[in-house]
Every structure is written in structure tokens, then in C-alpha cells.
Structure 1
Amino acid sequence: MRVSYKWLQEYVEVDISPYELAEALTLTGLAVESIEEPGKDIQKVYTGKILKIENHPNADKLVICQVTVGGEENLQIVTGAPNVREGQVVPVAVVGAKLAGGLAIKKAKLRGVESRGMLCSGQELGLDPDTMPADQAHGIMILPPDTPVGLDVKPLIGLDDVILGLELTPNRGDCMSMIGVAREVAAILKKPLKMPPVNLNEPAPAPEDRVQVDIEEPDLCRRYVARLLKNVRVGPSPAWMQQRLRAAGMRPISNVVDVTNYVMMELGQPLHAFDYHKLRDGHIIVRRAVREEVIVSLDKAERKLSTDMLVIADPDGPVAVAGVMGGLYSEVTEETTAVLLESAYFKPVSVRRTSRDLGLRSESSSRFEKGIDITGCRRAADRAAALLAEMGAADVTEIVVDNYPEPASEKTILLRPERVNHLLDLQLTGTEISALLARLHFKVQDDEKGIMVTVPGHRPDVNIEVDLIEEVARLYGFNKVAGTLPVGAITRGARTYPQELALRVKNYFSRGGFSEVITYSFISPRVFDRLAMPADSPYRNVVALHNPLSEEQSVMRTLLFPGLLEVLQRNSNRRVRDGAVFELGRVFYPREGEPLPEEVTMLAAAVTGETPGGWNTRPMVMDFYFLKGILEALLERVGVQDVSYVPAGDVPGFHPGRTAVVRAGEQELGVIGELHPDVQEAYDLDQKVTVLEINFDRLIQVSGAPRRYTPLPKFPGVDRDLAVVVRQDIPAGELIKAIERAGGTILRNVRLFDVYRGQNIESGYRSVAFALKFQAEDRTLTDEEVGKKIESITGTLEKEFGAVLRK
């Protein structure tokens, strides 16, 4: 927000310097980021009139001007500006003048012709070319024709002003106006605030004209004021108004448009002017855009609208995007003779979303986004009408429509003085607190419980007691509040068990050659189609975002491993075919009747290709058994007991027959398996991928079993190999469990070392071979003892599984 020091003094008497004012504003929370003095370096630049123009004898693009600045002798000045004309009044830098940036003007000869001075453009005088009329942005600045010659240009075009650049926080939309800043300054300096007058003479009747305003979306447009002006005479605005608009960083356009911008900068209420005769029947309809509806905005761009956007329309179609920009069709032009002024309140969220989706930000949208004073809509429309009438640009009619479906109620908050003093460590009385708030135009009234404070409409950011306490602190002075150190019991910092376990798991995978990744919590609903999830799968019950950045990130994830597949896919597209990645993150499930979803921490890992080989090691295929070994070692390290891998049925996304459910006792921890070929193809992965996904919250519950020390046995062990033929569908894990039960306490270890199918093995069967180790703690085992255990084991296998010893 650019604040003109001279303009500010119209509303409040400022008796301190701009630099002192900047410090005072900063101390109250309105940070002044910059202080500009546009005319600081400029000297000896006067108004001059071009009396005669002649062509340069030695240059086609130069002309010779005879210029008077009020002295006895005319000045001969050579210029190449294309927009100079005889009779124009322009800024003239005489010999010895200094311009913006320190440029000094001296006598010179241009192509053999003497030049005694310089005709100045706005840019050479330190003005922003974007605030100048298009024909003057890089040409000579043209002053009003009735401007006297010989005047110092600086005060004439506002170069004797000081501009304060405010960096406002998002909650202080009320200070995006001169009156808003003046209200703060008046409170700081304990001066009265002078509101701009609204002098409306007797409005002229307009019996043949009518204005109708229908609000179809009262939730998005809570108030709409439309005021009709007749006999409009479009032309340039007065010099003083152009000067103030340029100081605010805006380009003067025409009197009608300039007045709407001026009132917006003055009162903070965006306005828009429609050409009344281009609105069918004077009928305004505030509605949502129709699907695929199109409007050509004032910047001449064709914009496609969506049904989420609010538009201002007449019966024939949209004429403006509400709160963002007007339409080109209803633009005010030099042929306009009647204007309909709009002053409305649009919902901030709606304007913000529309502005973002269209990629179109404007001064209006930035104010609507932060919230404006709904009670000031009518006043702003009246102020604009009065200004146009005062400058003779229009006649005010009696036709004004104020559609206000549900007037805003006053907001009253109880403020307790003891609470103020407790939080700020002050000793203010209730009277002092009331006086501070009254200076900020809050209405205060004593109550038994404290102070009842009524919040003015221009402060929508004040909603609760602590907001009022902040206002007291701001105006009292943050620098007057004593600095105190926080007090509290000091405790030793330590990780919780879940945090410690998470760190151990991450370190384990990282040291094992896995790369940790962090994928988006927001995913596309199409992920479930790629995983071939059935329509009734619980994983499709997702938390949808109300305002997603894109369709690709419109829902919260319910599974972790699809993000890992996208990582492997991205690597594969870049010819990185080998990969091992893991992630410890959260998934989200909706909870019926609850505003927030259920969050579950999951551990996922995915592998493909081979491990890196070395000069003394061979690469290892990272398949199901590789990842299962990684998981087994992890579960053992974190103290999970009674782990089993149960063959899984039809798990969506996984290869049938190559997938297992991981259990710890009766607790299901997750799943591990090879990716389904169709899913592998959907992710454009050309080699096998194995993934696991474990519920980390459940893992925490079953982990932490204490490690027990077992002394080394003193007596030798006995090794035996056992090979049996069993049906192919019998898992080796079930055979191992049966062997361990039958082997008793002296069976120390069972290891599967061979699986064979083929010659001499019946179809549908396979041979599995186990290495058994027997050992006792108190004696050396005999062959007879071991033989009896072998017989017991083979008998158990034959009885439970129909196993036959392989011969």
C-alpha cells in the first residue's frame, strides 16, 4: 500500500515528519518498508509552453522547439519526442537543472543546432511510466492546457510529496485505503479523523430509466448497491486527482474510471462503472457462471468461467467477473452517456479462488480477498457520484438500488481489564483501556464483568478478546511492554518410544541400501484404478479436498506404496532400473460425523532390479525373498515375536500366489508381495517390483519384547538333513512349525535349504529339504536320541501333511 503524505493530511492533521510517522506506524504493527521522495533530486524544472516547432535541418527525427518559461527570452530546445505539438504546456528543464537520478542539464549542440534545455518525460522526472497515459509513458509529459507557465513543476505534479510503502499483514485489509491509514494515524497522534464529505445535491429524476438488482447467490454477495448517473461527459480527470492516483501507483484513464479508483484508494471500497445503455433493461443479476461460459475482460483477454465463479450479468450474459475485473462489452468509453456505479460486498474466499483460477489479480480483488467493510458500500457509491457531479462529469439521479438481503449485525466482545494486564504485564485501568480502544473507533461501554466493546464494520479481523488485547498493546506501544523471559519447569528432552522406533526403522533401511523418500499426501483418485481396486474397496473411501490444487492432488491417500511406485516409475523413465526405496508416513481415512480424518502411520518399501555388485560380490536380485528377509531382520531387531507370513488371497494390486499377509500372533501387521503384472504395466515398469506396507502404529504395539541372554552350549550339536515330498500348495512355513513342535527342546534350528520339482517328483508335488540342528545344554546327544526325534518329526509331517520321505 502506497500512502501519500500530502494526501494523508487531508484526513488527519499530521504534525510530525514523514520519517517520524513511519516509525510510529511501524511500532503499531503497520510496517513501513520504504520511504520515497520522488522529487528529492529535481531542481530548476518549470512549466513551459511550446510556441513554435520547426524541423531539424540535419536530422529527420529531431525537431527544434521555441519554448517560453515566462522569462523575457524564449528557449530553443531540440527534442526527438514524437508527441510534441505547438501550444502544449510541458515540463522544461532549463540549463543548470537536475533530473531524477542526478542527471544535470547543460547547453548542448544536437546535429549542429544549439539546445538550451530539455523537454521532460514523466520517467525523467522520476514518475513510474506505468502510471502515465499510454502516449506519454516514454514521450514528453503533457500538462493541462490552462496551466500557467513558469511554475515549479514539483508541487504541480506531486513531486514534493513523500510516499510511504506499507507492508500490510493479511488481516489488515482495512489499511488498504487512505482513510484506513488515516484512522490509525489519528489514533496514534490523538487527532480527530476528518472523513471526506459526500455532498449530493438534489438528485435529478429519471422516470424513463430503471435499475433492477437480483442477487441469486446471497452467500457470495451479501450486498449490492447500484447508482445511476446521467448526462455523463467522459474526459480527463482533474490534475489533483491524477496526481494522487499516480502517487498511489495507478494510471489515470478517464474521469469516470479515475473516480472509481480514487474512491477505492480513499475508502477501501472497490467500485465498478458500467455503461448503463449496454445493460439490457438496466437489469443486474449476481449469479454463478454457467458451465463453459466465456467473458472478454477489460484487458481484452477471453476467459473461460467455471460454475464456482461469481459473475455480474444482465439477461444476455456476464458483464463482469465479481470482485476481479469488468467485461469489455460494458466498458465506459468516450461515447458513454449514462453510467451505473457498482459498490458491493463479495465473499473473500470466492474472489480469492476466482482470481487464482483465472490468473488475474487486480487492486479490487486484493481488497475483496482481505475483506471490506460491508457497511460502507452505500457511502462509497455516494462519494463517487458526488465527485463526478462536482467535476461536472455527470448528473446524479434519484435512482439507487441497495440490495442488502441480510444486514450485518454488530459484533460485541467482552474485554476484561485484568486479562489485558495479565497478558501484557501492565497496570492499565479500565478507563485507560476504554480510551485506547475509543481512539481506534471501537464503541466501548462499561459492564459488570468488564468492558463491552462493539467492533466497527471496517475491522472484520477482530473477533475475540485477545484480538482486542492486541489492539490495546499496539496503541499503547509494544515498545512500552516490558520484556520478560518465559518461566516454566525445565525437563530433559527425550524421544518417545514411537519416535525412537521410527528413527531405528529409518536408520535400518538406510544402512541396508534403501533411499528414504517423502511423497505427496494428496493423490489422484485414478491411482485406485491403476491398482485395479474394486469399486467397493475400503481404500476408495477417501478424504476429498474442497479446494485442490489440481485433479492430480484432489484426495488424501489411503495407501502409501503407490507413491513409491511413482518414484520407481520416474527413475525408470530416466534409465535408473535398480531401486530400493522406503517411506514412513501417514494415510488418511474419513471418520463419520467427525470433521478431521483418522491418521494412521504406515511403513512402505519397494524394490526392483538388483543390488549393486562389487569386485568381490555379485549383484543380488531384489525379489520377494530379498524384501522378506529385510523385513524379517527388522522385526527381529525391534522385538516382534511370533511372526508369521500367511499366503494371501486376492489382494488388489498384488500378484496372486506371490503375496503374504504379515502377522504377529493374531495381530495383522500388513502385506508383502510382488506387484500384479497389470499394475506393473499401468505404472510403465518393465521388470518385477516387490512392495511391502506395514501398519506402523500396530508395529509399535507388538514390538519391544525384551532380549534374553542365552549362554553358549558346552556340548556339541548334531546336524541332520531331512527331505520330504509334499503337495505343492503346502507352505514351507507350516512344515517348519510342525518340525519345531515335534523336535522339542533339543531341536535348536531348522533351515530350508532346497526346493525341487521335476524328474522323479510327481506332478503337483515338490521336494523340500531342511537342515536340522539338535543340541542339549546338559549333555552330549546320542544317535539314538536324535533318531527318535527324526522319527517323531517324519511321523508328524506324514500325519498332518501327508509328507513322504524322499528316497
Structure 2
Amino acid sequence: PKADYTLEVEMLPNQGYCLSHYALARELCVFYGYKLKEAAVFGGEAPDSGVPVVIEAPELCHRYTAIVMRGVKGAKTPEWMAERLRAMGSNPKGNLLIDGANYVMYELGQPLHCFDLDKLSGPAIKVRRAVAGESFRTLDNADLKLQPGMLVIADDKRPAALAGVMGGLESAVSGGTDIILIESARFFPPAVRQSSKAAGIKSESSYRFERGTDPRLTPKAARRLAGLILEAVPGAKVTQFTDNLPVDLVPSVVEVSPEKVNALLGTGIADGEILACLKAFQPEVKDGKPWKFVVPSYRQDIEGICDVAEEVARYIGYDVIPTVSDMPMRPSSVTASWAVSAELKHSLASLGFSETYNYDFLSAKELKACGLKSEEALELKNPLSSDLQYLRPTLLPGLLKTLRYNLNRGRDSVMIFEVGNAYSKKPGRTEEISCAGLIFGDFPEGGHWKGGAAKADFYQLKGVMSRLFAGKGGFRFEKPKAAPSYFQPGGALEMKLGAGSLGYVGRLSAPVAAAMDLKDNNIFYFELPIGSAATAWKPEFWQKAVKIKPVSAFPHIWRDLSVVLEEKHEWGELERAFSGIQDLASARLVDVFKGKNIPEGHKSLTMRFTFSSMERTLTDAEVTERMGAALGKLARNFGAKLRS
């Protein structure tokens, strides 16, 4: 094989004008001052008659060039062309009508298509919108149902190609094709993009058309392919040349002043250098200021002075832009939500949790697995896939997938959390920052050196929450009126901060764990909105400092009290009822008992009350009096009776 070199050049998404060898050579000639060598094209003339070319949708097809050739039967691909196609990663078919069109597309950047004219009804070419019920078979032998409004290339009876995307099998060329029509057109980029996406077809042609092709290039590309065919097939001849141009090609003109360019770039480039740059792109630029820069047809991305200034910087070199700045440094401000998020991350990490990051998107299956309704979640209009169809209303699905990932790789215990956005359809709460986490498994991980390990439980996570919000006034746990559906019934508590809700903590339900392919539902989860936690955030250090309370110099006295009351009453309710009892330092639950000698539907609670006075040692009679006050509150508010 002939020795050669292959250069791989990556083009950025906004460089659609560089998607060809010719365009890349043109760029190099601009920057290095070389003379651009043009490709040899067919220069002959032919009548504009024979096959009618009608553009019925001029807003979607700005130019359509057609060349009809006869006597092309048996056109073989030259070996030199096949070698170049292979070097570009394209597999040559051996048919010059196919390979030649691909070669010119790579060479000049203009996609081409060849129709077998004997297979077109009429024959005629009509560039129009598809109508309801139409379909055609694509080149890859797939039946495509066309949506109304799609731009198609049709003959007198039916669509023959999806414009800018893919041709049809029924009008495709083959080894026996003798008469062809070469299509070279300029389509409206958004129309090609919409058709490509709706059809689910991506091609080299659609990739270029979507980014915009040069409208002045269509006749040159068609003539280039015709010339290659004439060179390879001596008996071939051109019988028709049609160039349908329904839209006038009026170039854009941008007024350029060196002062404006330097102001935009923050540079002091000399006027002569800027003018030299403009002339490298457009030699016809006159010297009079402001300069009239006629935008080249292949650079439709240049719309104003800002784009021209960018080209000047690119041409001269970005290193000419100084790195100094006169912008003064301003003090940064910290929002309450950011500060609370940072504090929670630090505290949870110090308690042994690992932070995770998950996608904001999830599938309908994952919503259903977590007991959530898809109609209550925000659905994307343009999802990348069905697995990324909805915005997450909770951080739970991502954390459960992370848990599953870790368990499948041999972890026995997992403590993870995430701070991220959750989304809702509720007015004013479309996007909300949340903090969520879960614990699962044995603790400590790997067991204690003395032997044994305890399973994670609700009280462990409840203790974590108490630690996070220790010292925050009004933080407490309450029995929820309606906990989220993914919690086990009766297995969750609502966290409160002042008068507002601070989220929920509890055990996940068994169906949720099973739906996420987790065999053990011993999973404990919390989720809280950062906005609610931010209400208690204090910006100043002195406001955050823990207030020291004096300690009594007199002895503490404690008494136990056992009462019987209905099962429906929670300890939290009882604890709040003790407020106002004189000299009460603390009240805590010691024991809960159900069974022998306890009536059906009732339970026995044993509580320990600790009393302390800052002024003196309390007498036995005073403590008895205060215990009587506590029992009285229990009897009045909850119907409690002293256990005998």
C-alpha cells in the first residue's frame, strides 16, 4: 500500500463550517496566507429542462441543484477513492454513484444524493412537506411512517427521501442504474434536526445539514460529483442542469471599527492588523472606516461585531488578550441555604456518612418502585432516554441505587447522604434543595473487637438527627399526620423546627425495598428540605455560640412514676405536657410494658423525673407535690391512671 498519513481533527459543535477537507484547508490558508487550491469540477453546460424540479416549501429548502446524467451503468469506484474513503473510516461500496457522493461530502462538506431516475414517478422532483398517512422505506430497509410537516423529496406519487436525513430504498441506485439525478441542496437546519429526531435516524448528511451548509456550494458540489463520474465512465454525459433558487442569497454586512473590536477584546491591536485579519477572510474589504465586512456564505454563524471580534482574536492569537483585570474584588455573600448545606455535609461526614451524587432524572419504573405517582412528577419534554424521563421529586431513588450498588460489591453496611435538588409540581416549589440519607447493615462495620455487631435501627438514625439539630430551638419529633408513602406504616416520625416541618425520618417499607431489588428492608431513611432548616440559621458567629446555662449547686432528686394509659398516646405528647412543672430538670421514658395485668388496648409507661432548684435543696414533701402535679396533668390530658 502507498505510504500516507492520516490526521484526526476534532471539530467543536459550533464549527459546522469546518466539516470537510476543503473547509479545513480554507482555514489553514486564511491563517498561514497560502493560496487555496480549488477542486476540479465539471464546467460544461446543459439545458435546464427535462425533469421538473419544484420547491413547494421554500422556507425549508433554500436551494436545490439537480444534475441529470445518462450512461452511468456499471460505474466502478476508483481504487484511489476507495483508499481515501477507508482512511476516513467509511466503507466503500464499489459503486461510484454511492461512494462518489460520500467522497464529495467529505471533501467539500456538501451532502449529495443520487436518485435512479427510472424509479421515480414522472420522473419529477417535488420538495414539499409530508402529509398525514405517508410513509417510505429507507435505505437501511426500514419502513418509516412520516409525520405531517416533515420535509421530503417526492416524485409525482410518493416520497422518495427524507430531506437531509436519508434516501429511500425504492429510488436507490444500483449496479444496473443507467440514468441518475444528482441532488445537492441547502435545507433549513432546524427542519432537518426535527425530522432526524422524530425518525430516530442520524446520518453524516443530517449531521452537516443540522449545522448549516453553504448555500453557494450546492452547484459546485454537484458539478464535482458529475466530473468524477465523467472521468471514470467515458460513455456518461450530462443532459440537464437545474439550479432552483427560491430565496435570494443576500450576504450580511457587518460594520467594523477597530475601537469597538479592541473594546470588546480588551486589547490594543493596531488598526492595520485588524484590517489584515478581515482581508484574510474577505479580500474585498475596502480601507474606509468603518470597514464593511461582507460575511462569507459559509460563515452564517457571524451575525455581528462581537462575532467579528472573536474571529480577529482567533486569527491574531488569543495570547494577545492581556490576562490583567481592573475588576475590584468584592466580598462574597453566603446564603442561608448554602451555609446550612455546608454545615449538614460536614456534620454528616463527621458522623461516618459518605456523600453521594446522583442524577436528577429517573424513570417511570423507579417512580413506581418508590410508591410515587408519575402524574405528580415533572416530566421532561425532550428526555435523552426513558430512563431519564422525569425529574426526581425525592432523593430516595438515587440513594437506593447507590445502596444496591455497594451491597452488590460486598459491603455489609452503608451510611450515605446526598444534598441535591428535588422537583415538584407544587406552585412556588418547583425546585427545592433537599438533604437525604440512609443507613443499612451492621454497626460498627466488620464487628467490634470484643465481638458482635448491632444492626442499624430507627433509634440510631433518630440519634443522628438529634445530633444534627442539637441546640436548635424548637427541634422535636412528632407523630406525622401523613408520612410519605415510601415509609413503613407507623414507622416514621415527622421532624419539627419551631412551627414548621423539617422532613421525615423512619424505616422504608418492604415493597419499596423489594421493588429496588433489595432483599433486606432494614433500611432507615431521612429527608429534609434545606429551606426549612435555613430558617434557624444564624449568620453571625456570636449567634451560633451555645449559650451556657448555670448548673445548680444543690443535689438533684429523681422519682419514677408508672402509669397506665391508652396505646394511642405517644411519649412525645406526654413529654410536652410536663412543661410548667416547677423545678423539673428533665423527664425521660424508662420502660414500656404491655401484657399481664394491663388492660387490652393500653400500655404501661415508667418515667423518671429529675428535680433541681437553683436556690436550695428540695424537701421530700416538695418533690411529692411536684410529682402530684405531673400525675395530674397525665390524668387530665390523657386519662392516665397510676399503675398499682
* Pairwise same-fold verdict (TM > 0.5): yes
* 1:733 shift after superposition: 0.5
Q: Tell me, what secondary structure is at the counterpart of 1:171?
A: coil
1:433-472, aligned counterparts within 5 Å? 433-441=274-282, 451=291, 453-472=293-312
> In 1, Cα distance between the equivalents of 2:27 and 2:317?
13
Could you list the per-position Cα deviations for residues 388-432 of structure 1 after superposition, in whole angstroms to 9, with x for gaps in the alignment?
Answer: 45775543334636375x667644545442232235454446565
What corresponds to 1:131 in structure 2?
Answer: none
What corresponds to 1:341 in structure 2?
Answer: 182
What corresponds to 1:368 in structure 2?
Answer: 209
Contact kept? 1:199, 1:386, Cα under 8 Å: yes
- Structure 2: give runs of 5+ residues left out of the alignment: 539-543
Contact kept? 2:368, 2:374, Cα under 8 Å: no
The one-letter code sitting in structure 2 at the alignment partner of 1:332 is V
Could you list the per-position Cα deviations for residues 681-730 of structure 1 after superposition, in whole angstroms to 9, with x for gaps in the alignment?
Answer: 32343433332110023212223454101233211100111222222112
The one-letter code sitting in structure 2 at the alignment partner of 1:600 is E
| 2:607 paired with 1:731 | no
* 1:775 shift after superposition: 0.9
The one-letter code sitting in structure 2 at the alignment partner of 1:126 is A
Alignment equivalent of 1:510, drawn from 349, 352, 373: 349
* 1:234 shift after superposition: 4.2
1:129-144, aligned counterparts within 5 Å? none
1:105-504, aligned counterparts within 5 Å? 123=1, 125-126=2-3, 166-188=9-31, 190=33, 200-204=43-47, 207=50, 209-211=51-53, 223-236=63-76, 253-257=94-98, 259-282=100-123, 283=125, 295=137, 297=139, 302-303=141-142, 320=161, 322-323=163-164, 326-327=167-168, 329-346=170-187, 363-385=204-226, 388=229, 392=234, 394-398=236-240, 400=242, 402=244, 404=246, 410-413=251-254, 415-424=256-265, 426-428=267-269, 433-441=274-282, 451=291, 453-478=293-318, 481=320, 483-489=322-328, 498-499=337-338, 501-504=340-343
* 1:306 shift after superposition: 7.6
What corresponds to 1:664 in structure 2?
Answer: 497
Contact kept? 1:719, 1:773, Cα under 8 Å: yes
Structure 1 window deviating more from structure 2 (703-712 vs 574-583): it is 574-583
* 1:497 shift after superposition: 6.2
* 1:659 shift after superposition: 2.4
Contact kept? 1:323, 1:368, Cα under 8 Å: yes
Q: Tell me, what secondary structure is at the counterpart of 1:421?
A: helix
> In 1, Cα distance between the equivalents of 2:299 and 2:48?
37
What corresponds to 2:643 in structure 1?
Answer: 806
> In 2, Cα distance between the equivalents of 1:471 and 1:488?
25
* 1:266 shift after superposition: 4.2
What corresponds to 1:699 in structure 2?
Answer: 533
What corresponds to 1:25 in structure 2?
Answer: none
Question: Identity, % of aligned pairs?
Answer: 33
The one-letter code sitting in structure 2 at the alignment partner of 1:232 is V
CA gap of 1:806–1:238, structure 2 versus 1, over 3 A, is: closer
| 2:508 paired with 1:675 | yes
* 1:246 shift after superposition: 7.9
The one-letter code sitting in structure 1 at the alignment partner of 2:468 is L
Alignment equivalent of 2:550, drawn from 711, 714, 724: 711
Could you list the per-position Cα deviations for residues 210-242 of structure 1 after superposition, in whole angstroms to 9, with x for gaps in the alignment?
Answer: 4556659x66x6654443333435434678877
> In 2, Cα distance between the equivalents of 1:700 and 1:273?
66
1:396-795, aligned counterparts within 5 Å? 396-398=238-240, 400=242, 402=244, 404=246, 410-413=251-254, 415-424=256-265, 426-428=267-269, 433-441=274-282, 451=291, 453-478=293-318, 481=320, 483-489=322-328, 498-499=337-338, 501-534=340-373, 540-548=376-384, 550-571=385-406, 578-589=413-424, 598-612=430-444, 613-616=447-450, 618-636=452-470, 639=472, 641-649=474-482, 651-685=484-518, 686-704=520-538, 706-739=545-578, 741-744=579-582, 746-795=583-632
Q: Which has the higher contact order (CA 8 A, sep 6+)?
A: 2
* 1:787 shift after superposition: 1.6
* 1:774 shift after superposition: 0.7
* 1:526 shift after superposition: 2.8
Contact kept? 1:670, 1:695, Cα under 8 Å: yes
Could you list the per-position Cα deviations for residues 627-656 of structure 1 after superposition, in whole angstroms to 9, with x for gaps in the alignment?
Answer: 22211111116x353434242326322233
**Corresponding residue pairs, total:** 631
> In 2, Cα distance between the equivalents of 1:368 and 1:269?
8
- Structure 1: give runs of 5+ residues left out of the alignment: 1-122, 128-161
CA gap of 1:242–1:780, structure 2 versus 1, over 3 A, is: closer
* Root mean square deviation, CA, Å: 4.2
Larger-gyration structure (1/2)? 1
> In 2, Cα distance between the equivalents of 1:487 and 1:789?
71
CA gap of 1:407–1:779, structure 2 versus 1, over 3 A, is: farther
> In 1, Cα distance between the equivalents of 2:410 and 2:35?
72
Contact kept? 1:521, 1:557, Cα under 8 Å: yes
The one-letter code sitting in structure 1 at the alignment partner of 2:14 is N
